[in-house]
Amino acid sequence: MKISTQEQQIIKDILTHAAEGTTHMLDQVMENPVSKYTDPAQLDAEINTLFRNFPIIIGHSSDLAAPGDFLTHDDTGVPILVTRSQDGQINAFMNVCRHRGARLEDAPCGKARTFSCPYHAWTYGLDGRLRGMPQPFGFDTVDRSELGLIALPVFERFGMIWVVPSVQEHKMDFDAWVAPMQEQLHGLDLGGHVVFRKWSLHRDMSWRLALEGFQESYHFCSAHRDTACSGYLDNQSLCLDFDPHVRHSVPLPSVTELKDQDPETWEYRPHFMTQNYLFPANFVQVMTDHVYVHTIIPTGPGTCVFQCMMLIPEAPTTEKAERYWQKNHDLIRVVFNEDFVIGEGIQKGLQTGANQNFVFGKFEVGLHLGQRAIDAALDGSLRVPVAS
Ligand code: FES
Ligand SMILES: [Fe+2]
């Protein structure tokens, strides 16, 4: 596959840094108030803005492969029901009955023709329409068409299902939102991938601490000394600022072999791990031959949930292939856990007052960019683009 101009430039920049003993840096260090990690009012604002008005990945297309498939999702604090209707369309609704508010569907996933409320058996179609109720004479003056499930914005793109967990006045232009990432994400064909493993972890750390673990590689050779350190060039992160998203490229040592080769013959993927940050809390972490898609969601002050799926190009057909992917899975679980143990330790120390501010180094570029985007969303200057 021909390398993109963007990837060619990333390689050129990394080779220059490696040759000159430099790394990608900003002009200044940045101080970030520790109160942002502890203040409950700050967290409320983050939940109500970042986790209500921006798209969150909640599954892979194959989770809803056929009409009638559904899944429920609750970790954002909003009970969400996602369905694939007969026309193949993906729909997202509040998982809340319009009669008197009962939770409509309790199963994490399954197959259904209709959803029948456990309380008084009002019934809804896969498209959210109110289809029927027992003893309708008691509601004969009510307009049923007004009592469909409340729809949430949902998008099926790049093989993933993205939901905005609140009712929006205007239709979001999702493609404009992800435009700077489009070429790269599209090229990965994640929709053609298979979910090899999927897991969800509740951790005792601010969602921000979990997020930051993926925004710099300065920590690799200490926090991941025996695991990821040797796999990458030390502290050679290159961040492309696609405000509010970030393409964070971390080179493997093998990238230096490219310096003697014709740039037209270069390949990007075998020489990089790419931590793509898609605001506010989604990562598409591209390894040389597989991909982790993760989303971090706050569940309270000092707690969060980390949801991850491991995508592989095709289902393993041999024991050897199964073992190979399982080994990758087991290793990444160890690496992620190294980050989370440190994050939980940070969380415990936050209240001590030891730090009024955290200091982001000049080369911890992803932290600067991520924080800038969060601040912009909170002050209202960052919003999703609206479809015309
Ligand atoms: S609350 Fe759902 S049918 Fe009554
Ligand atoms: Fe890490």
Question: Would you say how long the chain is, in residues?
Answer: 388
Give me the residue spans of the domains in the chain: 5-54+174-378, 56-163
Counting ligand 1 atoms within 8 A of each CB, the residue from 100, 105, 114, 130 with the most, and so the one to mutate, is: 100
DSSP code for 150: P
Q: Is the pLDDT of residue 58 over 80?
A: yes
The whole-number pLDDT of residue 2 equals: 77
Counting ligand 1 atoms within 8 A of each CB, the residue from 93, 95, 96, 99 with the most, and so the one to mutate, is: 99
Mean pLDDT confidence for 255-266: 96
- Of the listed ligands, the closest to the CA of 135 is 1
Mean pLDDT confidence for 129-152: 97
pLDDT tens digits, 196-222: 999 999 999 999 999 999 999 999 999
- Residue 1's pLDDT band (boundaries 50, 70, 90)? low
> Quick count: other Cβ atoms within 10 Å of Cβ 124?
25
Distance, CA 341 to ligand 2 centroid (Å)?
Answer: 10
Residue nearest to ligand 1 atom 1, measured at CA: 100
Dihedral pair phi/psi, residue 321, rounded to 5°: -65, -45
| % of the chain at pLDDT higher than 90 | 98
Atom of ligand 1 nearest to the CA of 100: 1
Counting ligand 1 atoms within 8 A of each CB, the residue from 120, 144, 150 with the most, and so the one to mutate, is: 120
Fold (CATH) for 56-163: Rieske Iron-sulfur Protein (2.102.10)
291-300/282-286 β-pairing: antiparallel
Distance, CA 210 to ligand 2 centroid (Å)?
Answer: 9
Query: Exposed (0-12), middle (13-18) or buried (19+): which is 313, by Cβ within 10 Å?
Result: middle
Counting ligand 1 atoms within 8 A of each CB, the residue from 115, 119, 130 with the most, and so the one to mutate, is: 119
The whole-number pLDDT of residue 342 equals: 98
- Of the listed ligands, the closest to the CA of 99 is 1
* 27 vs 363: CA distance, rounded Å: 9
| Mean pLDDT computed over every residue of the chain | 97
Residue nearest to ligand 1 atom 3, measured at CA: 120
* 207 vs 141: CA distance, rounded Å: 47
pLDDT tens digits, 144-161: 999 999 999 999 999 999
Ligand 1: residues with CB < 6 A are: 97, 99-102, 117, 119-122
* 8 or 1, higher pLDDT: 8
CATH architecture of 5-54+174-378: Alpha-Beta Complex (3.90)
Mean pLDDT confidence for 173-187: 97
- Of the listed ligands, the closest to the CA of 340 is 2
Q: Between the CA of residue 120 and those of 40, 46, 98, 135, what are the distances in Å?
A: 38, 36, 11, 10
pLDDT tens digits, 222-257: 999 999 999 999 999 999 999 999 999 999 999 999
| Structure token digits, residue 382 | 């960052």
pLDDT tens digits, 71-83: 999 999 999 999 9
pLDDT tens digits, 14-43: 999 999 999 999 999 999 999 999 999 999
Nearest to 161 by CA among 114, 198, 113: 198
Nearest to 257 by CA among 249, 246, 265: 265
Distance, CA 343 to ligand 1 centroid (Å)?
Answer: 42
Distance, CA 175 to ligand 2 centroid (Å)?
Answer: 30
pLDDT tens digits, 366-376: 999 999 999 99
The whole-number pLDDT of residue 239 equals: 98
Q: Which residue has the tokens 């991520």?
A: 370
- Residue 314's pLDDT band (boundaries 50, 70, 90)? very high
Same fold, 5-54+174-378 and 56-163: no
Peptide bond into 244 cis (omega under 30): yes
* This prediction's pTM: 0.97
